[in-house]
Structures are given as structure tokens and as C-alpha cells.
């Protein structure tokens, strides 16, 4: 087979693409930022291969080739907290974690609740190492009181709306938001934690929180919120996406709603299937403080069940950078959140794939294909004609999470020191190498 007219060829990797059902060793050709051809290894003659200039070959023998990961849930902190993360550094962290697209949450300062701020973020992201998609605010300043101009946000480029960090406590406002969002066919992403039930809580409400004397956030606080939003979603015919599912009851509620045909999707984060609340009392590591909180072994098992049976569609990082001095306080004084872009792949590999819960194809579906489908984003597949957003994975490579190696400006990870397996070898964005592991 003759090959010509390409800028780059990724050679000999095992192509994992749930969309095209490819599971073979193949050579992948890229031209002008797009995937132009996938050819099974061996179908190109040695002579033709020899004619390819070596500088345009990316050797990938023994590696996995996946569509670039898409993270639906990232906090980039710009505008407002550029000391914690900027769009540029957040995208560098994304590239190092294998992500070619990230969706940024609107709880910046000012909040992304108007066209100007959407446009500002998109313009700052123009030359970054990942595509940035904006999630606009449901309500002005995320206060839950007055709807944003949702049509304006969509016109400026918002792909979804969310008050992430806050639950839209007023059901009338959530109802109107679902109705408006429906007109633009965008999902509403719900941070489902009832404010009254969770007020002041800093960890899961359990035997552990009582033992440690810390105020808890009960599972029922999440479950009531999930159930209410499902009910409103069903009633309005809107589209609902539940962020960071963390409890047995939340998984059950979403499973039930899906079986009844409600238009709901859901995501889980690595910390909710990798950690339990008994970790907190060991060192009071403030990087373990997150909303919703890390919970119990039973909850971890339910999340994994939900990932296996498709109740949970996506794996998102909820990458939430915080400055060191803000986390260097008493546990209950620390702001919630941990970074995650650079550790998600390793945690998915170690805790889900190595334990036999998910196949690589399942994991990539949840980290790339499904987020693209839910938000109608480009990518998520290696189909011919797709953008050349590609993650090359060194599946068995062991590595240790080190604070100094994070590309993120903030280092607030509870996984520092953990030994993980599975690492990004190379990330390609629109045919351009944006990350190469050392």
C-alpha cells in the first residue's frame, strides 16, 4: 500500500477506540491536524516504510493509542486566582495527564456568568496545550438567586451550564434553568449536595467524623439533591449531568432514573473510587478535604459497580488547585478540592483496570468518547477525519507521584508518594506534540 501526503505517522501501537471498534496494531496517519488514515500493521511494505522520513514517525510499538482524553470537570482558576492555576498551566497539566480537552467550571472571580468572561477564557486558551471548553454559570455569581443569560453564554461558546461548588438550592430556579438549557440542547451539570444538610460539613458524616470530632456531610445530603434534580429533569424534559457521584444511594437513584428513560448522565472522580474516609484521621492531610467528601468502602464499591454497569458514564478529575498556604491550616479550615489531571490515568489503571473492573476500551469510553458525546465536543474517537487529538499510553509503566513533577501550579494532591501504574507517553493535540514523557 502506497502512503503519501501526511505530516506524521504513529507507528505500531495498539489502537483502542471504542467508537470504531478497532483493537489492532496499526499505523495512524495525520495530516493538517486531522486523522487521515489507519492501516493495520504489516499492510505497508518495508520499502514504503523506509521512505517515510524518520522525523515524522512516532514509534508506538508496545503502547496503546487512544483518542485524547476529555475532562468534563476542571477548575482553571483564571480569572481571579492566577496564583493557583492559569489557563496555560492548567492546560500543561492536562497535556501531561493525557487530556487534549478540558471543560472549565465557572466558579472563577469574576464568575463565568456573562459573555465577556466566556470570551476572555476562550481567548486566553487560544494557544494553550489543550482545547478549553467553557461551562457557564446557571445563576449570576453562582448565588442561586437569578438565572444567568443562558442564551448569551451559549452564543459565546458555553457547552453546558453549572453552579459547580454550589447546589442550586431553589427548585424553581433549577426548573427554569433546565427549561432554558433544553432550548439550546445543553446539559446542566449539578453539584448535588443539599446546602442545609451539608452546611459546615468537612468530611463524610460517619463513625469516623464523630470519632475525629469533625462536622460531617451526610450521604443523604447528596442523595436528596440527586433525586430532586432527576425529578426536575424528568418533569422539564431537560438534560441533567450529575457531577462527582459519591454515594451508594446516588448511584442507585441514577441507575433507576436511567432505567425509566430520564435524560440523565453522571460522572465519578478518581478520589471517590480510590480513597475512604478512614484515611483522614491518619494525618489530617487537608488535601483529602473535598466536596462531596471521600466516603466509605461501601460507597467506593457502589461507584465501581456504577462504572461497570454504565450507570456512571464518565470519569472526570474535578481538578481543583489550591495554594499551599490555604491548605496549610487545620483540616476544617482548608478549602475543599484536590488537583487531579495528572493522576487520573494512573488511578484508573491501578484501581479499575488492573483489578478487572474495566477494560481499557471501557476506561477510554468514560474518559474520552462519552464526555465528547454528552457535551457534543470534537474528538473522543480516532475515526478518519477526526481532529488528531491522541493520547499514547505506556500501560505498564510504573511511576511514583512526586510533588515536583506536577505541571499544575498547585500541588494539592493526596496521592503524592503513591506508586501508580500506567502513564502517558505522549499527548498530541491537533497533530502537534504537546507532551512527551521523559
164 binds Zn ion (CB under 5 A): yes
Please report, as residue ranges, which positions from 243 to 262 form the binding site for Zn ion (by CB under 5 A).
Answer: 243
Q: Are strands 432-436 and 99-104 parallel, antiparallel or unpaired?
A: unpaired
77 binds Zn ion (CB under 5 A): no
What's the min distance (Å) between Cβ of 340 and Zn ion? 12
85 binds Zn ion (CB under 5 A): no
Out of 164, 318, 362, 389, pick the active-site residue: 318
Position among 191, 289, 322, 409 found at the interface with Zn ion (CB under 5 A): 191
- Given a contact cutoff of 8 angstroms between Cβ atoms, the answer to whether 212 and 278 are in contact is no
Listed ranges 29-37, 112-120, 185-193, 295-303: which one lies at the site for Zn ion (CB under 5 A): 185-193
What's the min distance (Å) between Cβ of 104 and Zn ion? 13
The answer to whether residue 318 is catalytic is yes
CA 311 to chain CA centroid, nearest Å: 16
Provide the 8-state DSSP code for 7: S
Q: Are strands 216-217 and 203-204 parallel, antiparallel or unpaired?
A: parallel
Listed ranges 33-41, 237-245, 274-282, 373-381: which one lies at the site for Zn ion (CB under 5 A): 237-245
What's the min distance (Å) between Cβ of 123 and Zn ion? 26
271 binds Zn ion (CB under 5 A): no
Q: What cell was used for 362?
A: 471501557
CB of 134 or CB of 243, closer to Zn ion: 243
Q: In a 3-state reduction of DSSP, which class is residue 163?
A: coil
Residue closest to 240 by CA, chosen among 137, 160, 141, 150: 160
What's the min distance (Å) between Cβ of 243 and Zn ion? 5
Give the nearest residue (CB) to Zn ion: 191
The whole-angstrom separation of Cα 314 and Cα 312 is 6
Q: Are strands 99-104 and 34-40 parallel, antiparallel or unpaired?
A: unpaired
194 binds Zn ion (CB under 5 A): no
> Whats the size of the chain, residue-wise?
438
Element (H, E) at 323: none
* Cβ count within 10 A of residue 288: 21
What's the min distance (Å) between Cβ of 187 and Zn ion? 15
Residues that bind Zn ion (CB under 5 A): 164, 191, 243
Q: So which residues are the catalytic ones? A: 318
Amino acid at each position: 500500500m502506497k502512503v503519501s501526503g501526511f505530516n506524521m505517522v504513529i507507528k505500531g501501537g495498539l489502537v483502542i477506540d471504542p467508537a470504531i471498534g478497532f483493537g489492532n496494531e496499526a499505523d495512524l496517519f495525520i495530516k493538517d491536524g486531522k486523522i487521515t488514515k489507519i492501516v493495520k500493521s504489516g499492510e505497508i511494505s518495508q520499502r514504503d516504510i523506509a521512505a517515510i522520513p524518520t522525523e515524522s514517525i512516532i514509534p508506538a510499538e508496545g503502547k496503546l493509542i487512544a483518542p485524547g482524553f476529555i475532562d468534563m470537570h476542571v477548575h482553571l482558576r483564571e480569572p481571579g486566582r492566577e496564583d493557583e492555576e492559569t489557563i496555560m498551566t492548567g492546560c500543561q497539566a492536562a497535556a501531561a495527564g493525557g487530556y487534549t480537552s478540558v471543560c472549565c467550571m465557572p466558579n472563577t472571580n469574576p464568575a463565568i456568568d456573562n459573555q465577556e468572561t466566556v470570551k476572555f477564557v476562550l481567548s486566553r486558551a487560544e494557544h494553550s496545550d489543550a482545547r478549553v471548553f467553557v461551562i457557564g454559570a446557571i445563576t449570576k455569581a453562582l448565588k442561586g438567586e437569578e438565572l444567568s443569560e443562558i442564551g448569551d453564554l451559549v452564543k459565546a461558546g458555553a457547552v453546558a451550564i453549572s453552579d459547580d461548588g454550589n447546589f442550586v438550592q431553589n427548585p424553581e430556579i433549577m426548573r427554569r434553568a433546565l427549561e432554558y438549557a433544553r432550548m439550546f440542547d445543553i446539559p446542566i451539570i449539578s453539584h448535588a449536595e443539599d446546602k442545609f444538610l451539608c452546611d459546615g460539613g468537612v468530611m463524610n458524616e460517619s463513625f469516623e467524623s464523630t470519632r475525629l470530632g469533625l462536622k460531617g456531610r451526610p450521604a443523604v445530603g447528596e442523595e436528596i439533591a440527586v433525586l430532586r434534580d432527576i425529578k426536575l429533569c424528568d418533569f422539564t424534559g431537560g438534560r441533567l449531568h450529575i457531577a462527582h457521584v459519591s454515594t451508594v444511594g446516588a448511584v442507585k437513584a441514577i441507575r433507576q432514573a436511567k432505567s425509566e428513560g430520564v435524560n440523565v448522565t453522571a460522572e465519578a472522580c478518581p478520589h471517590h473510587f480510590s480513597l475512604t474516609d478512614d484515611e483522614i484521621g491518619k494525618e489530617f492531610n487537608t488535601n483529602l478535604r473535598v466536596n462531596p467528601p471521600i466516603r466509605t468502602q461501601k460507597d467506593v464499591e457502589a461507584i465501581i459497580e456504577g462504572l461497570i454497569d454504565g450507570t456512571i458514564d464518565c470519569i472526570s478529575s474535578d481538578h481543583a488547585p489550591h495554594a499551599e498556604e490555604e491548605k496549610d491550616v487545620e483540616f476544617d479550615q482548608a478549602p475543599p478540592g484536590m488537583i487531579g489531571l495528572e493522576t487520573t490515568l494512573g488511578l484508573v489503571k491501578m484501581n479499575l483496570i488492573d483489578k478487572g473492573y474495566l477494560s481499557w476500551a471501557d476506561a477510554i469510553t468514560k474518559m474520552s468518547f462519552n464526555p465528547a458525546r454528552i457535551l457534543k465536543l470534537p474528538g473522543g474517537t480516532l475515526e478518519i477525519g477526526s481532529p488528531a487529538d491522541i493520547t499514547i499510553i505506556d500501560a505498564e509503566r510504573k511511576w511514583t507521584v512526586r510533588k515536583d513533577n506536577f505541571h499544575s501550579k498547585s500541588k494539592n494532591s493526596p496521592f503524592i508518594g503513591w506508586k501508580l501504574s500506567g502513564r502517558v507517553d505522549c499527548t498530541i493535540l491537533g497533530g502537534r506534540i504537546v507532551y512527551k514523557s521523559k
